[in-house]
Amino acid sequence: MTTPLRVGLIGLGTVGQGVIRVLRGNADEIARRAGRPIVVTHVAARDLGRKRDCKLDGITVVSDAQFVARDADVDVVVEVIGGISPARELILQAIARGKSIVTANKALLAEDGNRIFAAARERGVMVAFEAAVAGGIPIIKAIREGLAGNRIEELAGVINGTCNYILTQMTERGQDFATALAEAQRLGYAEADPRFDVEGVDASHKLTILAAIAFGMPLAFDQVAIEGITGVQAQDIQAARSLGYRIKHLGIAKRTGKGVELRTQTTLIPDDRLLAKVDGVLNSIVLKGNAVGRIGFYGRGAGGDPTASAVVADLVDVARLSGADRRHFVPALAFQPDSVRELPVLPIGEIESAQYLRLRVADTPGVLKAITSILAESDISIEAILQKEPRGGEDATIAIITSVVPEQRFNAALDKIRRLPFVREGLSRFRVEHFD
């Protein structure tokens, strides 16, 4: 067989160790696909004394990541340290030296990808990032290549494994938020700073990338309306269940007549829908193309080996294309760079959606009437309502699901409801998606 593709791996955490395990464990199959062996020759990590769950024999292990990015004996750099800096500088250095890049770093791509892709184009190298969205699900390749004949109208997905794991543990096991998050961290699902997961930032990074490759628009992270799962309480999970819904964290990108919607949000979904059944660390993306119709993808969204599966697929692409003229590369963001078009992104106040509202109210006569009257006066229909019987002087709980309503109209009604004297502090409000 021909000479191996020599990989310099920067980062030896959850994903980096997975990459070494998968490349070694499936070496023969991978070489048969790539046409040459793919071998990790260099690794950089911070703490060289730390025990790793992979074999490192025959690999040069250093703490200086720049050494790996620059070494002439490295053909391709895999960046799996995460974060913006020094990941960005390392990638740009490696590109400048003519090395292709494989990265799982959605934060960097969503926030500064335009610069990195431009540098790679100029130097004639690839930047591949299948692992950046939905872990092991090959969604980037599917949208960029398999669905290239479609105008993609919308996509929605469970795209953060940590959020989904936490919500599943809370729903199925009654676990509290903090315990479930600690477990997700122990399992290697969470970002180095888990606020990125639970506050919706990680999902928004992924949504930014998905929207760019689905709609042919520039990366527009600063235009995503970001919401996480920190507002979800055990009572919401119970109320949603009683109403026939599940609570999930979704990323949604949708074309409308007025512009593109880009939002991440805690969402109630009817419990018989596909996305409602995606549990634990699993991710799922459902999208609609005008030729293919609805199509769904499902699989592990985080964790070492599933994410390494995506990294290694990118390495196989790099191996197959090394030496090829860059005009033969698939465009990194699916559309030819000079055909990427700005699209207006709708402010969140202008979207339309059904809404869930849970209120704690004093147990006095006329409460329900006052709330429903405000909704009726605002021309908001109630689709479902649940009142939990108060026990021994407790407050009553009311949960409501509305029909689809303009966001601003619902917000105005909510302001009035909040001001009612018997409504207690701390209501919950999430959007509802039916996926009919």
The site partner of 402 among ligand HSE, ligand NDP, none (C-beta below 5 to 8 Å per kind) is none
Q: Min. distance of Cβ 226 from ligand NDP in angstroms?
A: 16
Q: CB nearer to ligand NDP: give 135 or 216.
A: 135
Q: CB nearer to ligand NDP: give 116 or 405.
A: 116
By CB under 6 A, name the binding residues for ligand NDP. 10-16, 44-47, 50, 65, 80-82, 86, 104-105, 131, 135, 188-189, 191-192, 302-303, 307
Q: CB nearer to ligand HSE: give 8 or 135.
A: 135
The site partner of 160 among ligand NDP, ligand HSE, none (C-beta below 5 to 8 Å per kind) is ligand HSE
206 is catalytic: yes
Q: CB nearer to ligand HSE: give 113 or 289.
A: 113
Residue nearest to ligand NDP (CB): 13
Radius of gyration over every alpha carbon of the chain, rounded to an integer in angstroms: 24
The site partner of 284 among ligand HSE, ligand NDP, none (C-beta below 5 to 8 Å per kind) is none
Q: Min. distance of Cβ 286 from ligand HSE in angstroms?
A: 17
From 141, 206, 248, 254, active-site residue? 206
Q: Min. distance of Cβ 402 from ligand NDP in angstroms?
A: 36
Q: CB nearer to ligand HSE: give 191 or 199.
A: 191
Q: Min. distance of Cβ 106 from ligand NDP in angstroms?
A: 6
Q: CB nearer to ligand NDP: give 251 or 289.
A: 251
Q: Min. distance of Cβ 161 from ligand NDP in angstroms?
A: 7
Q: Min. distance of Cβ 307 from ligand HSE in angstroms?
A: 7
**Tokens of residue 199, six digits:** 């506050």
Cβ contact 184:162 at 8 Å: yes
The site partner of 137 among ligand NDP, ligand HSE, none (C-beta below 5 to 8 Å per kind) is none
By CB under 6 A, name the binding residues for ligand HSE. 135, 160-162, 189-191, 197, 202, 301-302
Q: For residue 339, how many other CB atoms are within 10 A of its CB?
A: 9
Cα distance between residue 254 and residue 222, in whole Å: 17
The site partner of 86 among ligand HSE, ligand NDP, none (C-beta below 5 to 8 Å per kind) is ligand NDP
The site partner of 311 among ligand HSE, ligand NDP, none (C-beta below 5 to 8 Å per kind) is none
Give the residue numbers marked as catalytic: 206
